[in-house]
Structure 1
Amino acid sequence: MLLFGHRFIESESFYHISDIDDIAHTPPSSKLYLAFHEDNLDIINYLQKNSISFALNVQNIRELIYASALGAHYILVPKSLAKTAQNIAENYLFDSKILVHIEDEEEIEELALLGVDGALFAEAIVKIS
């Protein structure tokens, strides 16, 4: 299970961007994070075309499918969607890893029992503005 931002485990950060210009303010080879939204398609296409690792935050199954098709390396889903998203990812052999944003380490066990690829703590997200 992947754990990002846990206090015991060293991990890479995700840099939350809101436009293409924000990319210049991130370290080289960093993981970028943004919400899936039609308004962000220009950013997503730019990341994909430039082979930049990125995570997309999605809210439903349709967005999950889009995120995979758009080449997201990580897809963040709400906990309520975690099991379904993981099953879809395994069924369709997604290259993406399914992550769930959590606030408490007690949630790790629940996600492990659901078979989710990983968890992301808020500490792993760096806001670029």
Structure 2
Amino acid sequence: MLIFGHPAIPAPRFRPIQGIDQIAAIPASEVVYFDASMDANRALGCHCHQEKVAYAVKIGRISELLLYANLGASYVILEDFLQSFQQIADHYLLDTKILVTIEKESQIEEVAKLGIDGVIFSHFLA
């Protein structure tokens, strides 16, 4: 299980972006992320995929999972523990990892029991 944002576990920084122009200023060792609702025409996802930029995207629908998995997203971030997303990712052998946002360490066990790929602390995305 992947764990991002825990103080004891080293992890690449996740950097929010609003547009393509911001990507060039972010070191390759960091992961850019954005909300799928900001990427209506998938321009951010397409650009990251073409330029081989590691990125994460907050999603809310299964169709977004499938689209961004095909656009090379390293991670998709869910607000809720939606096991159906993980089942689809496993069924189709997607390389994209499913992360669920959490607030406290005690939630890790709950997410692990659902078989989700990983968690990311909400403060780590701020």
Query: Fold match, TM over 0.5?
Result: yes
C-alpha deviation, 1:107, in angstroms: 0.7
1:25-104 equivalence runs, <5 A: 25-37=25-37, 38-39=39-40, 41-81=42-82, 83-104=83-104
Give me the TM-score of the superposition, normalised by structure 2: 0.90
> SS of the counterpart of 2:90?
helix
Structure number with greater CO (CA < 8 Å, separation at least 6) is 1
Structure 1's unaligned 5+ residue stretches are: none
For 2:27 and 2:42, locate their aligned partners in 1 and report how far apart those are by CA, in whole Å: 22
**Do 1:31 and 1:54's aligned partners in 2 also have CA atoms closer than 8 Å?**
yes
Change (3 A) 1:75 1:27: same
Aligned length: 125
Change (3 A) 1:30 1:55: same
Give me the TM-score of the superposition, normalised by structure 1: 0.88
Structure 2's unaligned 5+ residue stretches are: none
Q: CA RMSD in A?
A: 1.5
Give aligned-pair identity as a percent. 38
| 1:19 is the counterpart of 2:19 | yes
Q: Deviations for 1:62-108, whole angstroms, at most 9, x for unmatched residues?
A: 21111212211101123242x11111100000011110011111110
C-alpha deviation, 1:40, in angstroms: 5.7
